[in-house]
């Protein structure tokens, strides 16, 4: 038994994930702590082991109850025995109290307190023993009912996943952490990592937000401001905002405190940008700048193989072959195992007409990275140029396979998408052509005979298997052996050869890959494997050095290949490596699972990592996450409790019992004990093919009376989506007021947002190379005016008339004559359609035309008064009319101007509100819709396709939905038809003909609408996505303005008021405890509600503003505390007097209507 002093115990109690990155255990100074941690781990492991054997004995003896684990002294007891006066100390410590939540482990694994597993996780994490940490944390998570109450656990597990590059789960955990506790002491570390991961995922907007939040945070951190600024500059670079990136890089270089490493990184980025980016000047000048900067980079960090490689590329670009070879060679010395370098060496040899050397270099590249598309392509070109068609064919097939494996990574900046792989378009087509060509050639060719003329190069099979270059190979062997040493695995270095067309000559079907995917992933894992190398880095450099080593080109040292460099037509040019930024992140998850399985299965020597939880259960995590749904239950442990039965005075008294010298930890409008929001599972019922294509609920209106009947509203509210046919006719609406002609006459210079999109048929969405169906949808944003768009719309129509005249065909308006009552008939019609041959034809969609200004659009807006109340823009029964200010496009009208093929990508409405959409005509629109209960399924599919559900632009592949048992409504909206989109319904729309649409949102006063809006409000908060409906502000207005007789709706609104009032009380007490005065500010008429300028969360009633800033930016409390922990220099303003809020809260009671008085 380890004898521990009370100091040691204090230290151990104190240590958890929050010290990760701050406590450098490789520093000899910390050897004492390191020993202590290792000893403690041993003690805890003994405890786990003996309790495990006890539980086995228990089972065997059938003694179920009352067996004490005498064999081991429980760690907790041990601490208690020795701690004595420690407890009071611990309570004072800021770090230790807040999050160490003791949950009683009553789950029957021996007698081990489940917190033991959490502690083990923390301690292993501090030792950088990630496998063990993961295993212990997972065990804890499985046993802990409410893991979300333990914030340092969430943080620790998030770090572990980050280190494993399991970005999906790491992101999820960090988001949850920041949602649950924005004051968490390592919030800045979480923000930084979120920024890095979201950057890799292509969600640039969110990435920027998190990096800025990390930067704004003044608390201690493992990274410097300059390093974050570098990441932000790099974020600009990957978005092709070259000028902004260049300026940001240069700005950082001017800082005196810049480190050598960072200098090297920046010079490298700048150098490569000068090489690639045309807008940065004349070619000659750019080339010399590029060389200069890359040399500076190498000066600053002579060990950087990446810079040397890029220098080689630049030399090769200006034809300095010798210098290029030299640089490549140096690069190989520094960073062996870089497939890009070998590929470029191959290119250089090939250009020098040295095919054998080129072959060797390419083989090196593809052996290092079997998915290296450029190297496979170049090999193909090389073989073809030597007349070895079979080998060329095999190589091209591999390249093609990599292309189809590659996902298109689209991300949006604002709503502007960026397509990473646009550069591959021409290349892909070129290779596909070559494959086709060679197939025919090989078919016709005579059987190859051994005696035929000598080949110039050895075949791809021979090349793959022979040790072709001693130097190359030995280096490679070393490299792989190193990896294997770290992994304790022995497998052959080279493995079987690449796929080779073995089929009969008459039918050259592409052979399947000889290697299975697990072996494929080995190479990819090389980066992850470095996890086990000791981190010999300075304390405060840790995060960045770690990711520099591991993320390689993905994060810090990321560079992008020139788009034009390698893209001339195939056959004449050779391509360098141009692995896109995100390519490697797709399979991390599966790889990791496989890998864990292997490591736990194969290792049985004494150095086996300890498994607290079989890692094959890695999937349990997601199950754990999903079983927790939003529940409005009370947490018995949360004291004092708050409930909606309490009056405001009671609430106030209860708040006084809280630790008001600390900020309110939970700022959700849901109950504090609720788990963090998560997308729901899809309904489990298995649907038949017919149920997957349900008929669309539709009604046909004969007259005005129909339109105003309460049954119509009931009908709409009952279905996820409904189409009301003939509405305009029944109400005698003058749709002409919204025709392009009238709009141009009224306001020709009015602004129109334009989306440039690819023209394709409605049920298809192809990637840019036309090779694959994808979810990511291209939609570039720009602006124009109504008059100019009208011109485009008209000329597009004229052109098509001309085309049709030329062809004498019936035109594409096949759909117009079918009144689609059900979607089955629609899909039949669509089967006749052909895949567009000229898929790259672009179109422009005029969207989000703002018709809110009553002076400009009076006739149009007053025409809409003819609508029945439930569909009107403004009505007392519409929640959005109670917001008290304009939310553009939601409680005001927006107009859409379309040509055929204009797409509104998949989405739910803001905060899940309902929407009204009327087709003005003359053409039709086609709609696709999925009931709200399935949104979690669509969310997961977006994630699978690497697109952000909230920020991204996506067009679902219908077959993917059907496979996931997700039903899709599909119907045509004709001119004069109104589409009702119910709360939360996921939908996407494409115009069939030329038409305009008008749309806005409504919020029926129902419990369903309100709860879906609140749920999305919370989900948005977790996702750092701005909720443009300020739900707290709205709830207070609803309480002021309306009487609620629906019990459920009443309780939901009252709950929101209760949480919000409690929060206001708490914040005010807290602010006072800091000695800051709260000034009454009031609210102007129609004043917009406030959002935090940093994190975009709604700020209700208590606003924080920096005294010295000229521009008054409102902050939320968590953000302002990061700027100024003492609230010094901060002005605190109040929008409503407490007495007013108390009055509103107390007066808001359930309205009992006559006759229904007893309803409960
Ligand atoms: Zn904020």
**Is 971 contained in some domain?**
yes
Separation of 1118 CA from ligand 1 center, angstroms?
6
| pLDDT tens digits, one per residue of 738-765 | 999 999 999 999 999 999 999 988 888 8
Separation of 1061 CA from ligand 1 center, angstroms?
19
Based on the domain organization, do 706 and 658 belong to the same domain?
no
Based on the domain organization, do 864 and 995 belong to the same domain?
yes
Alpha-carbon distance 118 to 144, whole Å? 10
The enclosing domain of 737 has a CATH number of 2.60.120.650
β-strands 1130-1134, 842-850 pairing: unpaired
Separation of 84 CA from ligand 1 center, angstroms?
42
Based on the domain organization, do 876 and 948 belong to the same domain?
yes
Based on the domain organization, do 938 and 1060 belong to the same domain?
no
SS3 760: coil
Separation of 1115 CA from ligand 1 center, angstroms?
5
793: tokens are 């719309």
Based on the domain organization, do 1058 and 935 belong to the same domain?
no
**Is 590 contained in some domain?**
no
As for how many domains the chain has, the answer is 2
**Is 768 contained in some domain?**
yes
Separation of 1104 CA from ligand 1 center, angstroms?
10
635: tokens are 């947490």
Separation of 208 CA from ligand 1 center, angstroms?
15
| pLDDT tens digits, one per residue of 145-199 | 889 999 999 999 999 999 999 999 999 999 999 999 999 999 999 999 999 999 9
Based on the domain organization, do 948 and 1087 belong to the same domain?
no
Separation of 1091 CA from ligand 1 center, angstroms?
8
- Per-residue model confidence (pLDDT) at position 64: 40
Q: Which residues, listed in sequence order, are joined to residue 991 by a DSSP beta bridge?
A: 925
Among 975, 1003, 1031, the domain-final residue is: 1003
Separation of 704 CA from ligand 1 center, angstroms?
49
Question: Which residues constitute the domain of residue 1055?
Answer: 648-675+1021-1147
Separation of 836 CA from ligand 1 center, angstroms?
47
**Is 101 contained in some domain?**
no
Separation of 1030 CA from ligand 1 center, angstroms?
14
Alpha-carbon distance 601 to 622, whole Å? 23
Separation of 1021 CA from ligand 1 center, angstroms?
10
Separation of 178 CA from ligand 1 center, angstroms?
11
Separation of 183 CA from ligand 1 center, angstroms?
11
**Is 1074 contained in some domain?**
yes
Separation of 1117 CA from ligand 1 center, angstroms?
7
Alpha-carbon distance 339 to 317, whole Å? 19
| CA 1034 remoteness from chain centre | 29
pTM of the model: 0.75
Separation of 983 CA from ligand 1 center, angstroms?
28
Separation of 1062 CA from ligand 1 center, angstroms?
19
Separation of 1114 CA from ligand 1 center, angstroms?
9
Based on the domain organization, do 981 and 1042 belong to the same domain?
no
**Is 223 contained in some domain?**
no
Other CB atoms within 10 Å distance of the CB of residue 607: 7
Separation of 1007 CA from ligand 1 center, angstroms?
29
Separation of 207 CA from ligand 1 center, angstroms?
16
Based on the domain organization, do 1054 and 981 belong to the same domain?
no
Among 1003, 1029, 1045, the domain-final residue is: 1003
Alpha-carbon distance 428 to 421, whole Å? 10
Alpha-carbon distance 1047 to 1152, whole Å? 9
What residues have CB less than 8 Å from 689, skipping those under 6 apart?
962
Separation of 530 CA from ligand 1 center, angstroms?
37
Based on the domain organization, do 774 and 920 belong to the same domain?
yes
* Radius of gyration, alpha carbons of the chain: 32
Separation of 222 CA from ligand 1 center, angstroms?
22
Among 941, 971, 1003, the domain-final residue is: 1003
Q: Where are the alpha helices (DSSP H) in 1023-1151?
A: 1031-1041, 1047-1073, 1117-1123, 1138-1147
Separation of 1143 CA from ligand 1 center, angstroms?
28
β-strands 698-700, 721-725 pairing: parallel
The enclosing domain of 1123 has a CATH number of 2.10.110.20
Separation of 1075 CA from ligand 1 center, angstroms?
21
Separation of 1029 CA from ligand 1 center, angstroms?
17
Under 8 Å between Cβ of 391 and 383: yes
**Is 784 contained in some domain?**
yes
Separation of 1092 CA from ligand 1 center, angstroms?
5
Separation of 98 CA from ligand 1 center, angstroms?
21
**Is 1116 contained in some domain?**
yes
Under 8 Å between Cβ of 939 and 1028: no
Separation of 232 CA from ligand 1 center, angstroms?
19
Based on the domain organization, do 893 and 1033 belong to the same domain?
no
Under 8 Å between Cβ of 994 and 740: no
Separation of 1120 CA from ligand 1 center, angstroms?
7
976: tokens are 């004069």
Separation of 414 CA from ligand 1 center, angstroms?
20
Cα–Cα nearest to 775, from 785, 791, 764: 764
Based on the domain organization, do 765 and 792 belong to the same domain?
yes
- Per-residue model confidence (pLDDT) at position 988: 97
Name residues of the chain where pLDDT drops below 50: 1-2, 63-109, 406-426, 449-451, 468-609, 614-639, 808-839, 1156-1160
Separation of 157 CA from ligand 1 center, angstroms?
25
Separation of 1098 CA from ligand 1 center, angstroms?
8
- Per-residue model confidence (pLDDT) at position 586: 28
- Per-residue model confidence (pLDDT) at position 448: 53
Alpha-carbon distance 777 to 766, whole Å? 8
Based on the domain organization, do 961 and 1085 belong to the same domain?
no
Separation of 213 CA from ligand 1 center, angstroms?
9
Separation of 117 CA from ligand 1 center, angstroms?
34
Under 8 Å between Cβ of 435 and 403: no
Separation of 112 CA from ligand 1 center, angstroms?
40
Angle between helices 355-368 and 373-385 (to 10 degrees): 150
Alpha-carbon distance 502 to 719, whole Å? 56
DSSP designation for 128: T
What residues have CB less than 8 Å from 1074, skipping those under 6 apart?
1126, 1127
Give the largest CA-CA distance in the chain. 102
- Per-residue model confidence (pLDDT) at position 421: 31
Separation of 758 CA from ligand 1 center, angstroms?
38
């Amino acid at each position: 038994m380890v004898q521990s002093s009370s100091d040691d115990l204090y230290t151990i109690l104190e240590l958890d994930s929050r010290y990760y990155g701050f406590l450098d255990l490789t520093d000899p100074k910390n050897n004492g702590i390191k020993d202590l941690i290792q000893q403690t781990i041993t003690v805890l492991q003994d405890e786990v082991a003996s309790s495990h054997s006890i539980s086995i004995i228990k089972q065997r003896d059938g003694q179920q109850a009352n067996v004490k684990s005498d064999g081991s002294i429980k760690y907790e007891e041990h601490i208690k025995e020795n701690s004595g006066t420690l407890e009071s100390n611990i309570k004072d410590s800021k770090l230790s109290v807040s999050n160490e939540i003791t949950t009683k482990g009553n789950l029957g694994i021996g007698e081990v307190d489940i917190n033991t597993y959490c502690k083990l996780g923390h301690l292993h994490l501090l030792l950088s023993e990630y496998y063990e940490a993961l295993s212990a944390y997972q065990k804890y998570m499985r046993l802990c009912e409410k893991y979300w109450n333990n914030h340092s656990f969430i943080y620790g597990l998030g770090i572990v996943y980050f280190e494993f590059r399991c970005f999906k789960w790491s992101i999820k955990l960090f988001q949850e952490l920041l949602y649950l506790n924005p004051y968490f002491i390592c919030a800045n570390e979480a923000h930084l990592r979120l920024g890095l991961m979201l950057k890799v995922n292509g969600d640039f907007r969110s990435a920027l937000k998190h990096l800025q939040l990390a930067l704004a945070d003044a608390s201690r951190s493992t990274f410097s401001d300059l390093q974050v600024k570098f990441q932000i500059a790099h974020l600009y670079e990957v978005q092709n905002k070259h000028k902004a990136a260049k300026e940001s890089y240069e700005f950082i270089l001017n800082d005196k405190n810049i480190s050598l490493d960072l200098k090297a990184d920046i010079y490298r980025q700048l150098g490569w940008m000068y090489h690639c980016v045309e807008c940065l000047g004349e070619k000659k000048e750019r080339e010399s700048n590029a060389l200069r900067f890359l040399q500076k980079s190498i000066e600053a960090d002579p060990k950087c193989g990446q810079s040397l490689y890029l220098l080689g590329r630049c030399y090769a670009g200006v034809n300095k072959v010798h210098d290029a070879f030299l640089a490549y060679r140096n690069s190989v010395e520094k960073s062996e195992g870089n497939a890009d370098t070998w590929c470029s060496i191959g290119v250089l040899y090939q250009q020098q007409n040295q095919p054998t050397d080129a072959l060797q270099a390419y083989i090196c590249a593809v052996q290092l990275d079997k998915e290296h598309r450029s190297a496979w392509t170049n090999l193909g070109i090389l073989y073809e140029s030597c007349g070895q068609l079979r080998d060329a064919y095999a190589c091209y097939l591999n390249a093609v396979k990599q292309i189809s494996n590659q996902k298109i990574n689209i991300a949006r900046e604002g709503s502007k998408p960026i397509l990473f792989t646009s550069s591959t378009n021409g290349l892909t087509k070129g290779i596909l052509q070559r494959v086709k060509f060679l197939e025919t050639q090989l078919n016709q060719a005579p059987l190859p005979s051994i005696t035929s003329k000598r080949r110039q190069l050895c075949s791809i099979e021979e090349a793959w298997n022979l040790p072709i270059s001693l130097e190359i190979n030995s280096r490679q062997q070393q490299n792989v052996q190193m990896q294997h040493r770290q992994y304790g695995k022995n497998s052959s270095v080279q493995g079987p050869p690449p796929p080779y067309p073995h089929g009969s000559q008459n039918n050259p079907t592409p052979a399947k890959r000889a290697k299975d995917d697990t072996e494929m992933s080995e190479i990819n894992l090389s980066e992850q494997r470095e996890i086990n190398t000791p981190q010999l880095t300075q304390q405060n450099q840790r995060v960045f050095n770690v990711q520099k080593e591991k993320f390689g080109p993905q994060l810090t040292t990321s560079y992008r290949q020139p788009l034009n460099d390698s893209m001339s037509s195939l056959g004449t040019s050779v391509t360098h490596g141009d692995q896109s930024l995100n390519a490697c992140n797709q399979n991390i998850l599966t790889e990791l699972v496989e890998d864990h399985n292997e490591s736990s299965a194969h290792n049985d020597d004494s150095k086996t990592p300890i498994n607290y939880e079989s890692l094959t259960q890695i999937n349990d995590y997601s199950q754990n996450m999903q079983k927790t749904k939003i529940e409005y239950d009370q947490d018995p442990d949360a004291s004092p409790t708050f409930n909606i039965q309490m009056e405001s005075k009671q609430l106030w008294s209860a708040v006084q019992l809280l630790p008001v010298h600390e900020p309110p930890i939970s700022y959700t409008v849901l109950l504090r004990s609720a788990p963090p929001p998560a997308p729901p599972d899809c309904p489990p019922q298995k649907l038949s093919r017919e149920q997957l294509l349900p008929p669309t609920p539709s009604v046909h209106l004969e007259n005005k009376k129909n339109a105003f009947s309460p049954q119509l509203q009931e009908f709409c509210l009952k279905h996820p989506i409904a189409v009301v046919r003939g509405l305009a006719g029944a109400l005698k609406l003058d749709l002409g007021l919204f025709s392009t002609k009238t709009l141009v006459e009224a306001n020709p210079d009015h602004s129109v947002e334009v989306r440039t999109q690819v023209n394709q048929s409605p049920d298809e969405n192809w990637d840019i190379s036309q090779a694959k169906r994808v979810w990511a949808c291209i939609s570039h944003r720009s602006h124009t005016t109504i008059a100019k768009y009208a011109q485009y719309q008209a000329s597009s129509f004229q052109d098509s008339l001309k085309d049709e005249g030329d062809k004498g065909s019936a035109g594409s308006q096949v759909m117009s004559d079918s009144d689609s009552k059900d979607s089955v008939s629609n899909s039949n019609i669509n089967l006749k359609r052909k895949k567009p041959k000229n898929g790259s034809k672009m179109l422009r969609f005029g969207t989000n035309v703002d018709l809110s200004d009553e002076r400009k659009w009076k006739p149009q807006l007053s025409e809409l008064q003819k609508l029945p109340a439930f569909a009107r823009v403004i009505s007392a029964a519409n929640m959005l009319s109670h917001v008290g200010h304009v939310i553009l496009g939601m409680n005001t009208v927006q107009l859409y101007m379309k040509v055929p093929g204009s797409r509104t990508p998949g989405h739910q409405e803001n905060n899940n509100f309902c929407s009204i959409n009327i087709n003005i005509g003359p053409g039709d629109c086609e709609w696709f819709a999925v009931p709200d209960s399935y949104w979690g399924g669509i969310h997961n599919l977006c994630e699978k396709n690497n697109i952000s559900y909230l920020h991204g632009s996506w067009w679902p592949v219908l077959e993917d939905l059907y496979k996931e048992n997700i039903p899709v409504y599909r119907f045509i909206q004709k001119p004069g038809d109104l589409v009702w989109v119910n709360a939360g319904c996921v939908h996407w729309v494409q115009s069939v003909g030329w038409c305009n649409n008008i749309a806005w949102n409504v919020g029926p006063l129902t419990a369903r609408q309100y709860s879906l809006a609140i749920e999305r409000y919370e989900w948005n908060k977790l996702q750092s996505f701005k909720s443009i409906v300020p739900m707290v502000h709205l709830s207070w207005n609803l309480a002021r303005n309306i009487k609620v007789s629906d019990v459920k709706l009443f309780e939901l609104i009252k709950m929101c008021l209760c949480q919000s009032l409690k929060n206001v009380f708490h914040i005010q007490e807290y602010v006072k405890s800091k000695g800051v005065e709260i000034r009454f500010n009031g609210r102007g008429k129609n004043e917009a509600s406030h959002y935090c300028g940093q994190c975009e969360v709604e700020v209700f009633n208590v606003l924080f503003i920096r005294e010295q800033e000229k521009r008054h930016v409102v902050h939320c409390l968590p953000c302002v505390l990061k700027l100024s922990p003492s609230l010094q220099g901060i002005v605190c303003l109040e929008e409503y007097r407490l007495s007013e809020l108390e009055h509103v809260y107390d007066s808001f009671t359930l309205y009992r209507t006559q006759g229904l008085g007893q309803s409960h």
